Structure 1
Amino acid sequence: MHSFRSSKAATAALRSSRLARGRTGYETRSSCLPRFIFLAAQNPSLRTRRHYTSPADTQFSTRATVIQLLSNIGSKREVQQYLSHFTSVSSQQFAVIKVGGAIITEHLQTLSSALAFLNHVGLFPVVVHGAGPQLNKMLEAAGVEPQFEDGIRVTDGKTLNLARNLFLEENLKLVEALEELGVRARPITSGVFSADYLDKEKYELVGKINKVDKRPIEASIQAGCLPILPSMAETSTGQVLNVNADVAAGELARAIQPLKIVYLSEKGGLFNGDTKEKISAINLDEEYDDLMKLWWVRHGTRLKIKEMNELLHDLPRSSSVAIIHPADLQKELFTDSGAGTLIRRGNKVHVNTKISQFSDLETLKEVLIRDREGLDAKAVVDRYVQSLEDREFKAYFDESMSALAIVLPAYEGVSIAQLATFSVTKAAWLANLSDNIMTAIKKDFPKLQWTVKQDDENLTWFFDKADGSLSRDGEVMFWTGVESGDEVKELMMEFGKHGREMFGNYNLESRLHRAARAASSQGGQMQQARAYSTSVRSQSSSSLLSDSRPWGFKPTSSSRTYATTTNPNPPFGKKNSSNSKPARVALIGARGYTGQALINLLNAHEHMDLCHVSSRELAGQKLKGYEKRDITYENLTADDVRKMEEKGQIDCWVMALPNGVCKPYVDAIDAVGRKESVIVDLSADYRFTDNWTYGLPELVDRAIIARATRISNPGCYATAAQLGIAPILPHISSPPTVFGVSGYSGAGTKPSPKNNVENLTNNLIPYSLTDHIHEREISSQLGTEVAFIPHVAAWFQGIHHTINIPLKEKLTSREIRNLYQERYAGEPLVRIVGEPPSVKAISGTHGVEVGGFGVHSSGTRVVVNVTIDNLLKGAATQAQQNMNLALGYAEFEGIPLKEKGSGGMASF
Structure 2
Amino acid sequence: MLAVKQLSKNTSSKALFVAGARRSVRGVINAKDRIGIRRLQSQAAAQTDRDTITRLLYSIGTKREVERYLRIFSSSSHPSQPAKFAVIKVGGAVLDQLDELALSLSFLYRVGLYPVILHGAGPQLNEIIEAEGVVPDYIDGIRITDTKTLQIARRVFLEENLRLVGALEKLGCRARPITSGIFTADYLDQDKYGLVGKITKVDKRPIEASIRAGALPILTSLAESAEGQILNVNADIAAGELAKELEPLKIVYLNEKGGLYHGVTGEKLDVINLDEDFDSLMKEPWVKYGTKLKLREIKELLDHLPRSSSVAIISADSLQKELFTDSGAGTLIRRGYKLFKHSSVESVGADRLRQVIHDRDPEVLSGKQSVAGVLNDLKMTPYTIYGDEAFDAVAIVTHPDGEVPVITKLLASRNGIMNSVIDNVFNAIKRDHRRLFWTARADDEMRAWHFERAHGSFTRAGRSLFWYGIQNVDEVESVVKDLEASGRIERSYLPVGPSARPKTAASGLGGVRSYSTFARRVAPGMSRGYATAATPAPQPSTEVKRLGLIGARGFTGQALTSLLSNHPYLNLTHVSSRQLAGYPLDTYTKASVQFSNLSTTDVERMEKDGEVDAWVMALPNGACKPFVDAVDRGAKIRESTGSVIVDLSADYRFEKGWTYGLPELYGREAIRASRRISNPGCYATSSQLLIAPLVKHITDGVWPTVFGMSGYSGAGTIAGSTDPDGRPATVSKVSPEGLHGGVRPYALTDHIHEREAGYHLSSLRGAPMKVAFIPSVAPWFSGIISVLSAPLNAKMSAKDLKALYEEKYAGEKLISIGREVPGLQAVQDKQGWSVGGFQVHSEGDRAVVVGGLDNLLKGAATQCLQNLNLALGYDEYAGIPIE
Taking structure 1 as the reference length, the TM-score comes to 0.47
Name the structure, 1 or 2, with higher relative contact order (CA <8 Å, separation 6+).
Answer: 1
Instruction: Specify the structure having the higher radius of gyration (Cα).
Output: 2
